[in-house]
Amino acid sequence: MSNRAELIESGKPFAFDAERDAEFERLAKRYPNRDSLILPSLWLIQDQQGWISVESIAYVADRIGTFASQVYEVATFYTMYHLRPMGKYHICVCRTLSCYLLGKQQIVDYLQQELGIRPGQISEDGRFSLEEVECLGHCGSAPVVQINGEFHENMTVDKFKELLSTLK
């Protein structure tokens, strides 16, 4: 059972666009157990609209032929699914041991100061959201940051300054 935030409504119906619909159908052939489609379907939702809404949960449950509560449990268990809209650039800073020891906090402190947001918040203009996450699996090149899914390794504050200036 998750203790994460409740799902919220987007206020509009959800359906996969043509590209995600084709991908869903392709994946459906791969999984004899339909419930195994939940994880990749949640990725498809997030890829399409950036976050997981109540409406998208209901839609995917219906497409899979399972209970919405089942999809909800999965969506709220894994921290990589966003249960609310995120910034245009969603910055994830790894906070696990290697990154912790090699300076992730300086990066978080810099971002907090520069963007005016703390982990879990979105900047007022909607451009940036910041999150601290568990190990991103690239411990050999810590500290590691992900921006919209793209990895940035061996990060330093100076590298981040340069990187931020490229994000419009």
Q: Terminal CA-to-CA distance of the chain, rounded, Å?
A: 38
92 Rama class: left (phi>0) / alpha (psi -120 to 50) / beta: beta
Q: How far is the CB of 136 from ligand FES (least distance, A)?
A: 4
| Tokens linked to 157 | 């504050």
* Distance (Å, whole) CA 127 – CA 167: 9
- Determine how many CB atoms are found less than 10 A away from the CB of residue 1: 5
Number of residues that bind ligand FES (CB under 6 A): 12
96 interacts with ligand FES by CB under 6 A = yes
Q: Hey, which residues between 108 and 147 contact ligand FES (CB under 6 A)?
A: 135-139, 142, 144
Q: How far is the CB of 92 from ligand FES (least distance, A)?
A: 10
Binding residue for ligand FES, selected from 94, 108, 122, 130, defined by CB under 6 A: 94
Q: How far is the CB of 138 from ligand FES (least distance, A)?
A: 5
Bridging pattern class, strands 89-94 and 145-147: antiparallel
44 interacts with ligand FES by CB under 6 A = no
Q: How far is the CB of 81 from ligand FES (least distance, A)?
A: 19
Helices H, strands E: what count in the chain?
Answer: 7, 4
Q: Which is nearer to ligand FES, 64 or 94 (CB)?
A: 94
| Tokens linked to 58 | 């209901």
List residues binding ligand FES (CB under 6 A).
Answer: 94, 96-99, 135-139, 142, 144
